Amino acid sequence: MSAEIKDLKTGTTTVGIITKNGVVLAADMKATMGHLSYDKEAKKIYKITNKIAVTNAGSVGDSLTVIRFLRSHAKLYETDRETEISPRALSTFISNLLNANRYFPYVVQFIVGGKIKEPQLFEITPYGGVLKRERFATSGSGTELALATLDQNYKKGMTEDEGILLAVKAIRASKKRDIYSGGRSISITVIDDRGVRELSEKEVQEFINKVKKRK
């Protein structure tokens, strides 16, 4: 008897927000495998260079493979050209990589955020489409829920703290209604003139408490 192979449903919610002086990336921490809540502390935001980070949605194995490619390519780019790779250049590399494998695709979706001279944010579709975002970006199964929160609350020129609060609010909205988003807490990474900085669990909890109080 041949074994029946079924696709395993996965999901997540990640967001990127452009603020006055940088970019805020946020993600839930739940990893699913079919009907299982497989991990409640999953990592979904990755530092690529000192000025660029990405969020991932989709297959964990595929995501980590592509992220290894990105880190290697960024180092080669900067060594060869003696200049920092930009978020746009990195997004183009991801686009070429995913499009070249479209018949046997990497099941992934990325948000690329960074700041060289100015904050930049890009969404990369699984087949290599590059979408430049001027305000915010979302990915994963909780996209619609997060998008509604971002649409209603985003304003141009937000401070870093305002951007983090909005990111927390968007992820919390998806965690509440999307069964594939969740986890123990929320991951937050800030990219500004100081580089890529991941908020500690204590810092994130402080922002979560602020959002709760404002309800």
| Contact (Cβ atoms closer than 8 angstroms) between residue 12 and residue 28 | yes
Domain presence at residue 151: yes
Spatial distance between the Cα atoms of 33 and 63, rounded to a whole number of angstroms? 15
Beta bridge partners of 145: none
Count: domains in the chain? 1
Domain presence at residue 75: yes
DSSP 82: S
Structural domain boundaries, residue 101: 13-213
Domain presence at residue 5: no
- The reported pLDDT for the residue numbered 104 is 85
Domain presence at residue 8: no
Per-residue pLDDT of the chain (215 residues; tens, 9 = 90+): 333 333 434 568 899 999 999 999 999 876 665 555 555 667 889 999 999 999 998 888 899 999 999 999 999 999 999 999 999 999 999 999 999 988 888 989 999 999 998 999 999 998 899 999 999 999 988 888 899 999 999 999 999 999 999 999 999 888 776 655 655 678 999 999 999 999 998 998 888 888 878 76
Q: Which two tokens stand for residue 50?
A: 């000192």
CA–centroid distance for 134 within its chain: 16
Give the active site residues: 12
Domain presence at residue 72: yes
Stretch (H or E) spanning 53: strand 52-58
- The reported pLDDT for the residue numbered 137 is 95
- The reported pLDDT for the residue numbered 92 is 96
- The reported pLDDT for the residue numbered 36 is 52
Domain presence at residue 167: yes
Task: State the CATH number of the domain containing residue 55.
Answer: 3.60.20.10
In terms of Cβ atoms closer than 10 Å to its own Cβ (0-12, 13-18, 19+), residue 98 is: buried
Domain presence at residue 2: no
Please identify which residue in the block is written with the tokens 């920092």.
Answer: 84
- The reported pLDDT for the residue numbered 60 is 85
- The reported pLDDT for the residue numbered 105 is 87
Domain presence at residue 1: no
